[in-house]
Amino acid sequence: MATLTEATTTRRPLDPSHRAPRRRVKAAPYLFVAPFLLVFAAFSAYPIFFALQLSFTDWHGAGALKVTGLANYRYLLTSPDFWQSMATSGALWLLVVPAQVLLALTIAVALRKARFRGLFSAALIAPFVTPLVAMAQVWIILFDHDFGAVNQGLSSIGLPTIGWLTTSAGAQVTVALLVLWRTTGYAVILLMAGLSTIPSDVYEAARIDGAGAWQQFWSITVPLVTRTLSFVVVIGTLTVFQLFAEPYVVTGGGPFNATRTAGLYLYKHITNSDLGLGAANSMLLVVMVLALSLASIRLLRSREDS
């Protein structure tokens, strides 16, 4: 009995030739993601790091980089032109993003159960994919002071005409309307996708409890679509602070620099071949857009948590 116990409990020495096979690392997943990583490194990561390095130099596109430290940032932060361009972008943000969120959410809710949703979606996304320069030229014709259809319509109902392209306030509103018309459809598509994830049982339970349409919208729809709204706000913020083609074609940044956005001011450094200053301007723009986006998301998330 003791011999049997010893035989069963005694372990044989491991044979070096029968070791457990080493776990192989599968290369296929890394091969599949390698093209994306290479493209990202070449066209995103490297330009960002190079621009950050360039922001601390005085470089005009040729020759060696001349390191100047924080001189570019000091110049921009004390430049009235820089802050004026940021103020213009901020004013356009106030004109565009809140109106875009409210309008897009209203349209998305109205189309949630509408027939021919595909047709409406195609119509809404059409301005977003239409060539921007062509749309801007149409906008110039529509808002012309003397012959534009908008002022003709105002005159026909007895209202005074407006200098849409010749006054500071009118030019900002004109550019904001163009951005709204072009980008709201894309925001509607995003919000329609967000609304489709809300179970219909939630609305049925609310109706059984006596909740009206407004209560359902404010207590169910808005909280459950907050994450999509946050994404729409971030995309809208990026769009407004990168505005270039719209003010460049429609107003040229005027009148009196009223529509010279942060994107147009950055373009000025490029045309002057002041690439170090332009890189510093872009870095400051990234920081400010990030701060504004985070503040907007925090405000929306506080609504979601309440």
Could you report the per-residue pLDDT of 142-164, keeping only the tens digit for each? 999 888 999 999 999 988 999 99
At 243, is the secondary structure helix, strand, or coil? coil
State the average pLDDT over residues 263-280. 89
Structure tokens at 186: 């894309």
Q: At 2, which helix (H) or strand (E)?
A: helix 2-9
Longest dimension (CA), the chain: 115
State the average pLDDT over residues 25-53. 85
Q: How far apart are CA 188 and CA 108, in angstroms?
A: 5
In this structure, is residue 99 part of a structural domain? yes
* Helices vs. strands in the chain: H and E counts, helices first: 16, 2
Q: How far apart are CA 175 and CA 260, in angstroms?
A: 11
Q: How far apart are CA 177 and CA 172, in angstroms?
A: 9
Tell which wins on pLDDT, 274 or 13: 274
Q: How far apart are CA 253 and CA 248, in angstroms?
A: 6
In this structure, is residue 105 part of a structural domain? yes
In this structure, is residue 9 part of a structural domain? no
Give the pLDDT score at 128. Answer: 87
In this structure, is residue 157 part of a structural domain? yes
In this structure, is residue 295 part of a structural domain? yes
Q: Residue 236 is part of a domain; what is its CATH number?
A: 1.10.3720.10
In this structure, is residue 103 part of a structural domain? yes
Give the pLDDT score at 259. Answer: 93
In this structure, is residue 188 part of a structural domain? yes
Structure tokens at 32: 């599949």
5-19 pLDDT, tens digit per residue, is: 554 445 555 555 555
Q: How many domains does the chain have?
A: 1
In this structure, is residue 35 part of a structural domain? no
Residue range(s) defining the domain that contains residue 195: 71-305
Q: At 58, which helix (H) or strand (E)?
A: strand 57-58
Burial class (CB in 10 A: 0-12, 13-18, 19+), 228: buried
Burial class (CB in 10 A: 0-12, 13-18, 19+), 84: middle
67: β partners: 57
193-223 pLDDT, tens digit per residue, is: 888 888 888 888 888 888 888 888 888 888 8
Q: How far apart are CA 174 and CA 180, in angstroms?
A: 10
List CB contacts of 221: < 8 A, sequence separation 6 or more. Answer: 109, 195, 198
DSSP3 helix / strand / coil % (the chain, rounded to 5): 70, 0, 25
The answer to pTM > 0.75 is yes
Specify whether the CB–CB gap between 111 and 117 falls below 8 A: yes
